[in-house]
Structure 1
């Protein structure tokens, strides 16, 4: 099975400093939904791994998160694609959990659930935590400059071997051209 793991905010959809709290605030980045559909068309399964500390902070509840994800899944489906699984960490950074990126817990759980070893699996995100989690899981970190990506690149200290792309569509082009 071929797998790609994506971050959500800043990678698939526009991010917000105030968190995405409602379905109305969730807006796809141009080309992102079609990029997911192209992955699916090439035989890739797509998983999403997203930190959602707004839940623990009381900024949104599970009903709101589920509604946001339902909107995202429907939008991807309307573009001809699908997301196979969504994993999220509801914890804030001061909570001791194994799932919050930069720890690799969500990635490991995705690999186990789908029966896919993570060695070399492309993991695409806009934040340093996304890249660190990918590297810690043995996956291939790929930075997109959308969302916080430009600031992440400027901050340096990227995991060894991190590839950089303008957006999700460009990253998918690279994955598909590599076979």
Structure 2
């Protein structure tokens, strides 16, 4: 079976709630965090797949249309590809934060569904996120988990950014 890395989007791949951008509702609002294209490119060498799994409650709340979200993701994939970084698929939950759906993290449905579709061995894969809901989703799906930030007691590893996390993930997976 194949191995994958599942990445949260906002706060892992791109800026959110910064001086430059509040929310990413249009392609022009997407700014990669430092080192992200290079980190994904490194992960591409060692893993069969790199995925994005993201809660996008702004769709359900009416702040953006699903078509806009799809354009943001198409733009993200295209811009990463310019650096040689490949994201193979994007799964998103468009539902309101308290909708009670199975797909919204901390639920693991997005990860599990991608795992089935791409024949991923989740126990040999990783979920990277910047919130406890990301870590919980990864744990429920059976992946190893990496938290970007200060601390998370459930995470298997903690790093300040994706660049440092990618190096650890690659070493840990060997």
Q: What TM-score comes out, normalization by structure 2 length?
A: 0.91
Equivalent residues in 2 for 1:125-144 (5 A)?
A: 125-144=129-148
Assess, with a 3 A threshold, how the Cα gap between structure 1 residues 22 and 117 changes in structure 2: closer, same or farther: same
In the other structure, the counterpart of 2:97 is: 93
In the other structure, the counterpart of 1:172 is: 166
Is 1:46 matched with 2:50? yes
Return the offset for 1:19. Answer: 2.6
Return the offset for 1:94. Answer: 1.5
Output one character per residue of 1:68-113: Cα deviation in whole Å (capped at 9) or x when no partner: 1111101110110211110000011221210000011111101111
Which is worse superposed, 126-135 or 110-119?
Answer: 110-119
Which is worse superposed, 9-18 or 65-74?
Answer: 9-18
Assess, with a 3 A threshold, how the Cα gap between structure 1 residues 39 and 87 changes in structure 2: closer, same or farther: same
**Would you say the 8 A contact 1:34–1:76 is kept in 2?**
no
Return the offset for 1:125. Answer: 0.6
CA-based RMSD: 1.5
Report the secondary structure of 2:96's partner residue.
coil
Return the offset for 1:168. Answer: 0.5
Equivalent residues in 2 for 1:14-33 (5 A)?
A: 14-16=15-17, 18-33=22-37
Report the secondary structure of 1:12's partner residue.
coil
Supply the distance in 1 between the matched residues of 2:17 and 2:120 (Cα, whole angstroms). Answer: 32
**Would you say the 8 A contact 1:48–1:87 is kept in 2?**
yes
In the other structure, the counterpart of 1:109 is: 113
In the other structure, the counterpart of 1:37 is: 41
Structure 1 segments of 4+ aligned residues over 3 angstroms from their partners: none
Supply the distance in 1 between the matched residues of 2:126 and 2:133 (Cα, whole angstroms). Answer: 15
Supply the distance in 2 between the matched residues of 1:68 and 1:39 (Cα, whole angstroms). Answer: 22
Supply the distance in 1 between the matched residues of 2:106 and 2:171 (Cα, whole angstroms). Answer: 28
Structure 2 unaligned regions, length at least 5: none
Report the secondary structure of 2:9's partner residue.
coil
Q: What TM-score comes out, normalization by structure 1 length?
A: 0.89
Aligned pair count reads: 169
Supply the distance in 2 between the matched residues of 1:2 and 1:128 (Cα, whole angstroms). Answer: 23
